[in-house]
Structure formats: structure tokens, C-alpha cells
């Protein structure tokens, strides 16, 4: 069955988004400095391999998975070293192809906003990770600063108390409106991680200066230097549109 991203030019989406890309790379590399030893890594929803350079130096065995054969083929042509393997699979089919407790680290970025059943997602992750294995997970932040200010100006003063995910697929900024695009309340999302057997080690607020006007005024390197220092402090107020979490599976 064809995946949604088979018909969408996802590499083209990232043109002009170098700041956002490098901000995400920074978050992953910073998390990796905390993790002691990694042999096996699984990236779920890796697409065309955009983030592989941020973690490939740490793993001896790396499995790259994605439901899009088109995107996975791009990644496979780019990363030909023996330690890389590629699996064309949807999330729900991964337990059929992979052994339980197989990975030291699972990375999942810009994926869970497309998954309506988050409980099933966490069950699969928990099944595939080794005991005390690590998870690097990104989720779209419903309560980010720009959204909160916008809702207040609209008179929606109860917005911070709305704990339910918001589906943004009707938004003009979403190109493919046939799949879910869920933004999560950060407190609820973190509680979900704890509920499914994870201890949260560190959070980072990412892409904190995601503004085309600011990006046109300030050099990219300056923005990225600011981003580097802001990711941890701004995570305490859930400022940015993306929240990255480093968590460890409990025994």
C-alpha cells in the first residue's frame, strides 16, 4: 500500500528550513552526549534520512524504517555503509519484523503527530526497546508561545487548560490534509511517557525562533547559537513548536 509521503516532495519541504533542520540536529546530538553506550539504533519514520548524520557515529548497527518506499530509497542510496539496514514498514507492522527488546536507542522525530492512537505507539516502542534503553522523541507542542498568545488575543482564556490534542490537518499550512496532524499538550504527553514505563531524563524546546521574518533579518549562525543556549531553559515553559524528549525505559 502506498504511503502518504510517496506522493509528497518531502525533501523540497526542507529547502529554506536550514535553521529548523539544524536545531533538531542540535537537540539529538546534545541528548547523545548524555547516553553512555549504544550498539543498536532504530529510527522510526526516518524519511529520506535527513537526521541520520546526527546519530550515525554512535551506533554499530542502525536500522532505518519508514512507510514510504520512495523516501526510504533516497536514504538507502545515500547511506551505503554496512552498518545501515533499511526496513519499509508502517509503525504498526514493526513488531512483526523485529524482535522484542532489540534496540538500545529508538529515535522518532516528526512522526507521532501523524498517529491517532498514541497508546499503541508507546506499546510498540516499549516492546522494541531493551530494558533501560533510550528513546529520543519529538512531538508538536500544542501550547507553544505563538499559539498561546494567539488564543489569548482571540479571547480563549481557557486554552492552557485544554488537555486534548488538536488536529491541525485543516490548517492552510498543512499540505497533506488526509492524514492526522496532532499537536499535544506537553504535560499530558509527558504523563503518557511515564504511564508507559519511561523516565524522562531531559527535555528541549526546539525551533524556538521559527519565524520567517526573524530568519531574514538575523544570520543563520547567530540564530543557531541562540537556539543552542535556549533549548533547555525554554523547555521549562514549553516555549517552542517542537518539544524533544530524552527518556529511558524502566526495567
What pLDDT is stored for residue 176 in this prediction? 52
User: What pLDDT was estimated at residue 215?
Assistant: 85
CA distance 24 to 29: 9
Mean pLDDT of 133-157: 90
Q: Dump pLDDT digits (tens) for 208-238.
A: 998 888 888 888 899 999 999 999 999 999 9
| Statement: residue 46 has pLDDT above 50 | yes
Q: Give pLDDT, residue 2.
A: 56
CA–CA separation, 246 vs 162, rounded Å? 25
Write down the domain spans for the chain.
Answer: 4-249
CA 166 vs. chain centroid, Å, equals 17
Task: Give the mean pLDDT of 45-57.
Answer: 97
Q: Which of 206, 189, 210 is nearest to 198 (CA)?
A: 189
CATH superfamily placement of domain 4-249: Vaccinia Virus protein VP39 (3.40.50.150)
| CA distance linking residue 125 with residue 17, whole number of Å | 29
What is the rounded radius of gyration, in angstroms, for the C-alpha atoms of the chain? 18
Would you place residue 170 in the very low, low, confident or very high pLDDT band (cuts 50, 70, 90)?
A: low
- For residues 141, 145, 150, 153, the Cα torsion angle rounded to the nearest 10 degrees is 140
- Residue 76 scores a pLDDT above 50: yes
Judged against a pLDDT cut of 70, whether residue 5 lies above it is answered with yes
The pLDDT, as a whole number, for residue 187 is 94
- pLDDT score of 172 more than 70: no
Characterise 177 by phi-psi region: left (phi > 0), alpha (psi -120 to 50), beta (else).
Answer: alpha
Give the model's confidence band at 3: pLDDT under 50 very low, under 70 low, under 90 confident, else very high. Answer: confident
Residue 8 has pLDDT above 50, yes or no: yes
11-34 pLDDT tens trace: 999 999 999 999 999 999 999 999
Distance CA 187, CA 7 (A): 34
Q: What is the pLDDT of residue 153?
A: 84
Confidence (pLDDT) at 118: 93
Whether the predicted pLDDT of 117 surpasses 80: yes
Whether 215 and 209 have beta carbons less than 8 Å apart is answered as yes
Q: What is the mean pLDDT of residues 95-123?
A: 95
| Band of pLDDT at residue 1, cut at 50, 70 and 90 | very low
For the residues 115-122, what does the mean pLDDT come to?
Answer: 94
pLDDT the model gives residue 174: 47
At residue 204's C-alpha, the angle toward residues 158 and 78, to 5°, is: 125
Q: Report H helices in the chain.
A: 10-13, 18-32, 52-55, 69-78, 94-97, 118-128, 145-153, 186-195, 212-217, 220-235
- Reported as a single tens digit per residue, the pLDDT across 83-106 is 999 999 999 999 999 999 999 999
Task: Give the residues across from 88 on adjacent strands.
Answer: 66
pTM score, whole prediction: 0.93
Worst-scoring range by mean pLDDT, 1-10, 67-76, 111-120?
Answer: 1-10
Computed from CA positions of residues 46, 51, 57, 59, in that sequence, does the dihedral angle turn out positive or negative?
negative
Q: What is the DSSP letter of 230?
A: H
pLDDT, mean of residues 45-69? 97
Amino acid at each position: 500500500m502506498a504511503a502518504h509521503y510517496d506522493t509528497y516532495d518531502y525533501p523540497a519541504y526542507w529547502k529554506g528550513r536550514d535553521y529548523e533542520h539544524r536545531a533538531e540536529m542540535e537537540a539529538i546530538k546534545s541528548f547523545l552526549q548524555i547516553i553512555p553506550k549504544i550498539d543498536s539504533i532504530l529510527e522510526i519514520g526516518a524519511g529520506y534520512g535527513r537526521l541520520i548524520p546526527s546519530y550515525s557515529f554512535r551506533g554499530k548497527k542502525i536500522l532505518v524504517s519508514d512507510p514510504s518506499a520512495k523516501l526510504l530509497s533516497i536514504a538507502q542510496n545515500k547511506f551505503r555503509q554496512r552498518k545501515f539496514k533499511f526496513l519499509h514498514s508502517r509503525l504498526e507492522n514493526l513488531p512483526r519484523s523485529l524482535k522484542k527488546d532489540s534496540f538500545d536507542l529508538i529515535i522518532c522525530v516528526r512522526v507521532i503527530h501523524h498517529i491517532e492512537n498514541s497508546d499503541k505507539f508507546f506499546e510498540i516502542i516499549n516492546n522494541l526497546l531493551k530494558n533501560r534503553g533510550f528513546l529520543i522523541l519529538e512531538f508538536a507542542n500544542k501550547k507553544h508561545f505563538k499559539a498561546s498568545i494567539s488564543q489569548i488575543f482571540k479571547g480563549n482564556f481557557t486554552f492552557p487548560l485544554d488537555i486534548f490534542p488538536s488536529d491541525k490537518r485543516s490548517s492552510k499550512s498543512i499540505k497533506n490534509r488526509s492524514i492526522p496532524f496532532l499537536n499535544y499538550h506537553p504535560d499530558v504527553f509527558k504523563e503518557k511517557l511515564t504511564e508507559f514505563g519511561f523516565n524522562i531524563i531531559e527535555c528541549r524546546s526546539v525551533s524556538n525562533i521559527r519565524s520567517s521574518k526573524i530568519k531574514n533579518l538575523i544570520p543563520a549562525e547567530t540564530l543557531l547559537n541562540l537556539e543552542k543556549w535556549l533549548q533547555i531553559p525554554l523547555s521549562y515553559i514549553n516555549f517552542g513548536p517542537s518539544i524533544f524528549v530524552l527518556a529511558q525505559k524502566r526495567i
